[in-house]
Amino acid sequence: MLAFGAFLASRPQWVGYGVGLLIFFSIGSVPGNLTQFDPYAFVNDYLGMLLGMLFCAAAGAIILPPNSRWLWRRLEQDLRGLVVFAISGPGQRLGSAFDSRVRDLVHQAYGLSAGQPQVQRRVLGWMFTVLEIGHAIIELRREQDGLPIHPAYHERQPWRQGIRALGRSLIRLFIQPSAANLERCLGVLEQAIAEVQAAEEPFARHFDTSVLRRVQSYLHFIRSSLLDPQSPLAELGHNGAAHAA
């Protein structure tokens, strides 16, 4: 049973059954106890545990099958929620925590969707969108956390208020994706880009020395990700021609 459980655990579509058999074997084998010939205890405990596990497996497969639509919707919702985590999560080790959560969710979804290429493509599409936008947001937060003390970088500056408005708009979009929320988010984003371009800075506008130049590049990167025709956001029915300029 141990070898059979390990074999099933190595197959993505049977990994849940394999892990269950390994746990069942570890519980039932009780290697710390001496071997005793006790048929009554064997029938009462071991076979009873086996029947209970089979009943739970059958109930789970009928009531909560692992390939049901609600599960994919829930995993997609959790994956989109990582953009919210990138915006409002604690700043310490945010990048590594963000990457770890994305990998964990994609691993779960990809393993459960074995043999369903359409579901896997959709999960990968959301993964790339979340990674691109999430890392751009994290870089924006790092730039703002390291701003020098100068009136041009004050938190009440229009460009900083525009970035905060963009964060709220992105949260609304990824919690509830819709064409209206996407259109609103693109409008807020373009306004933030215009405010960054119009802002005055005491340093030359070179990428290595200018905070605003780097902020502007991250904003343009977010805009490109939102307008990507291969992104799941393109399925919302938004016409990106008006924002292509």
Q: Cβ-count burial of 136 within 10 angstroms (0-12 exposed, 13-18 middle, 19+ buried)?
A: buried
* Range 89-93, long-range pairs (CB < 8 A, 24+ positions): 91/141, 91/145
CB 119 within 8 A of CB 113: yes
* In the predicted structure, residue 245 carries a pLDDT above the cut 60: no
Instruction: Name which of 205, 201, 106 is nearest 157 in CA terms.
Output: 201
H-only helix segments in the chain = 2-9, 15-29, 39-41, 48-63, 69-88, 94-112, 117-145, 158-175, 179-198, 211-226
**Amino acid letter, 239:** N
For residue 121, what pLDDT is reported? 86
Could you state, in order of their start, the residue ranges of all structural domains in the chain? 2-63, 73-243
Residue 169's CB is within 10 A of a number of other CB atoms, namely: 20
Rg, Å, the chain Cα set: 25
Confidence of residue 21 (pLDDT cuts 50, 70, 90): confident
Residue of 31 and 196 predicted with greater confidence? 196
Question: Could you read off the pLDDT of 83-123 as tens digits, one per residue?
Answer: 999 999 887 889 899 999 999 888 887 777 767 778 788 88
Rounded CA gap, 181 and 176, in Å? Answer: 8
The pLDDT of 132-156, averaged and rounded, is 90
Question: Could you read off the pLDDT of 168-191 as tens digits, one per residue?
Answer: 999 999 999 999 999 999 999 999
CB 83 within 8 A of CB 137: yes
Confidence of residue 152 (pLDDT cuts 50, 70, 90): confident
For residue 65, what pLDDT is reported? 67
